[in-house]
Structure 1
Amino acid sequence: MNRFVVGIVPIVVVLVLGSFLWQDPTIQNLGYPCALTADNAEGPYYIVGAPSKETFGATLEGQRLVVSGQILDYSCNAIPYAIVDVWQTDSNGEYYFDDAFTLRGKVAADENGLYHFETVFPGKYSESGMVRPAHIHLKILSAEDETELLTTQLYFQGDKDHDWLVKPSLILDLEEIDGTKYAEFDFVVSP
């Protein structure tokens, strides 16, 4: 038998068995009713110390967007008072640094893990010659000590510029009512 084939067979066996024995809990989440939300890159523009609020960029031009949902654990139980730390661009694809918290803030969920925030629909921007799709950055933090439970990004259905960072489970469906776009997304995290 060819030495290459003999050497490659054990590697393939380990990879195949490994995919069943050491599964990624974000993808597989075996034994739990709720699949964990996929993580995604933090990106270079996160700023600590954002204030608590539910309305972002109220004075900015652009289409309004309301995002709401629930924060759950992998058993589908609500995580009361968890925090959604949000940051994004304006409708022109610009991050704010001089007035850093215009489009940044922390949204507290209620006792049932329900959250909502209103913002301006984010614009696209070019990075290293590549257009980033419209997206919102988020971290889910514990209520007790703001321990980070998840860092991810949310994207939007129908965006032709989806790139390699976009995961299908992070794409929001949009509904428009009276000129405002609405989207729902439930975060599932491991507390």
Structure 2
Amino acid sequence: MLYATASQTVGPYLHIGLADRYCDDLTGDAPGLRDSRIVIEGRVLDGQGAPVPDGMVEIWQANPNGRYRHPEDERTHLPLVDGFTGFGRVPTGPDGSFRFITVKPGAVPDVHGVPQAPHILVSVFMRGLLKHVATRMYFPDEAAANANDGVLRLVPPARRDTLVARRGDDGALRWDIVLQGEGETVFFDI
């Protein structure tokens, strides 16, 4: 007879074996991108608004030309950028903070070939989750493209702002990820 095993959460030890694989600067080996670098920073907050000090945030994005460095992106007419992988991973700090240096991605087509607004795919891992959560971060200076983005239009208008970063006084993009409760970030099934 077979018995079901208990489900387990991601656990408090999700960082084991990943410390040497953190990458907060996606432009590090791409000298041609130095002038177009942007900073994205924020915090991961739980349902009570408390920081998540032991989480992990991953991002995945297209390059400025709108092409992913992935074999399934067969749009070879769009150039890749040497040294830019489009993938980043960082642990959250004691105050739930995270920070990436990257570039604004170009628009990529959806499954119907319609251009999407520039965005970054984001995954969050933390203790207590049965699996990671996935969301997107959009750019505040892309109002027209955001208004026409097929995925963003699926989100109720009152909640869309949870997916759009805001420009800080220092020029960095600020975007907090709220896991539950008031101001909860919109998450997507993947």
When the two structures are superposed, what TM-score results if normalisation uses the length of structure 1? 0.63
Separation in structure 2 between the aligned mates of residue 129 and residue 97 of structure 1, nearest angstrom? 18
Whether 1:91 and 2:64 are equivalent positions in the alignment is yes
Aligned residues: 138
Q: Which runs of no fewer than 5 residues in structure 1 stay unpaired?
A: 1-48
1:173 positional shift:
2.2
Residue of structure 2 in register with 1:158 after alignment: 141
Instruction: Give 2:109's match in structure 1, choosing from 126, 136, 155.
Output: 126
- Secondary structure at 1:148 match in 2: coil
Report what 2:121 is aligned to: 137
- Corresponding residue of 2:87: 104
2:27 maps to which residue? 57
**Aligned-residue CA RMSD (Å):** 2.8
By how many angstroms is 1:182 displaced?
A: 1.6
Matched, 1:77 2:46: no
Determine which of 162, 165, 170 is the counterpart of 1:172: 165
Match of 2:177 among 177, 187, 190: 187
Query: Offset at 1:149?
Result: 4.2
Kindly provide the amino acid, as one letter, of the partner of residue 21 in structure 2. P
Are the structure 2 counterparts of residues 151 and 103 from structure 1 closer, same or farther at C-alpha, using a change threshold of 3 Å?
A: same
Further displaced range: 109-118 or 155-164? 155-164
- Given residue 135 of structure 1, which amino acid in structure 2 is its aligned partner? H
In structure 2, C-alpha distance between the alignment counterparts of 1:155 and 1:68, rounded to whole Å: 13
CA contact (8 A) 2:116 2:150 kept: no
Report the AA paired with residue 98 of structure 2.
Answer: Y
Q: Distance in 2 between matches of 1:91 and 1:176?
A: 24
Structure number with the higher strand fraction is 1
Percent of paired sites with the same residue:
24
